[in-house]
Amino acid sequence: MGKTILKASTLTIGYKDKQVLFNLSLELNQGQLTCLLGPNGAGKSTLIRTLTGIQKPLSGTIELNGKNLQSYNQKQIAHQLSLVLTDRMATGNLTVYALVSLGRFPYTGWLGTLNEEDQKLIQWSLKVTGTAEFTNRHIGELSDGEKQKVMIARALVQDTDIIILDEPTAHLDSPNRIEIFHLLRELTLKTGKTILISTHEIDMAIEHSDNMWLAMPGQSISTGLPEDLILNKSLENAFGSEKLSFDYLKGRFRRNEEELTNEFSITGSPIYTKWTKSALERAFPNGLREVEIEIINRDDAPCWTLMKENKSFITLELLINYLKINNDKN
């Protein structure tokens, strides 16, 4: 395990009249991606503000590279820790290059000139985040996914041990979410950065976290490998409810009424079987009379056959429409 960059001990966080999370013991280690998960209102933003020195802890200590966070001034913190806040993303007239260059401000000051090393770091950050092609475009002209990569480039230019991102995939579509998680993962592996992100993407966090922090509302934070937090039921305890439970085989949460009484057997290739099952479960939430379906896929022309009735359909939709008309339970 890499060196411990940030360590919180017996930390309680919150506000003057409200304690949010208690008695936290947390560590961020070099080269690791840590995902902070928790239901709405659990205290993720409060924790990020506290770990970055924006907000004081109610009690306990935070050490950044072995020194109490409270002994650093803001500029010293900015040399060791960069923060990307999604909702306050800069827009407007700055070019990508100008915004990314601002990452050097803890070293140069706002009016400081960039030396050759600064320029090299900026070029490198643009390259590794895949934003070099936007260098001269204005921030306001970029998509949310492109902007997020530019904000990560700015954080890289700040040249800190730790990068903390508050919900970096909040406004992104699925391909961009995957890309941002992949980029952050690559950065930990290739540059040894220590990255903490808060996120609501449970699936992504399970897939990519070296370490997961799971905020249990009104309590504390459970930490560990995602798989350990799944197997010891912490994940289900944090997000589950009467209506929602964790499917331990599929690795995702599902509504409890999805417990199906369907009786159907499907034979065919695993991929066609999976998506046929998915469509049938959605179309017949209250169950389906016993059916046997065989899917034959020749030359990319699939055909769904109802075995007992010897009827074939060239689209899944036609099969479902037929079953809806003929299914006596519906």
**Cβ 102 to ligand ATP shortest distance, Å:** 26
The DSSP secondary structure of 87-140, one letter per residue, reads: GG---SS-BHHHHHHGGGHHHH-TTPPP-HHHHHHHHHHHHHTT-GGGTTSBGG
d(CA 109, CA 112): 5
**Cβ 117 to ligand ATP shortest distance, Å:** 37
| Residues counted in the chain | 330
Q: Is residue 38 part of the contact set for ligand ATP (CB under 6 A)?
A: yes
**Cβ 249 to ligand ATP shortest distance, Å:** 28
Q: Quick one: which of 145, 141, 128 has its CA closest to 189?
A: 128
Identify which of residues 45 and 262 has a Cβ nearer to ligand ATP in the complex. Answer: 45
**Cβ 42 to ligand ATP shortest distance, Å:** 4
What single-letter amino acid sits at 129?
T
Q: Quick one: which of 148, 121, 120 has its CA closest to 134?
A: 148
Identify which of residues 49 and 289 has a Cβ nearer to ligand ATP in the complex. Answer: 49
**Cβ 198 to ligand ATP shortest distance, Å:** 7
How big is the site for ligand ATP, counted in residues (CB under 6 A)?
A: 11
Q: Are 154 and 126 in contact (CB under 8 A)?
A: no
Identify which of residues 18 and 298 has a Cβ nearer to ligand ATP in the complex. Answer: 18
Identify which of residues 52 and 125 has a Cβ nearer to ligand ATP in the complex. Answer: 52
Query: How buried is 138 (Cβ within 10 angstroms: 0-12 exposed, 13-18 middle, 19+ buried)?
Result: middle
**Cβ 212 to ligand ATP shortest distance, Å:** 15
Query: How buried is 195 (Cβ within 10 angstroms: 0-12 exposed, 13-18 middle, 19+ buried)?
Result: buried
Identify which of residues 43 and 103 has a Cβ nearer to ligand ATP in the complex. Answer: 43
Binding track, positions 6-25, relative to ligand ATP; x by CB under 6 A: ---------x--x-x-----
Q: Which of residues 40-69 bind ligand ATP (CB under 6 A)?
A: 40-46
Identify which of residues 170 and 306 has a Cβ nearer to ligand ATP in the complex. Answer: 170
Residues that bind ligand ATP (CB under 6 A): 15, 18, 20, 38, 40-46
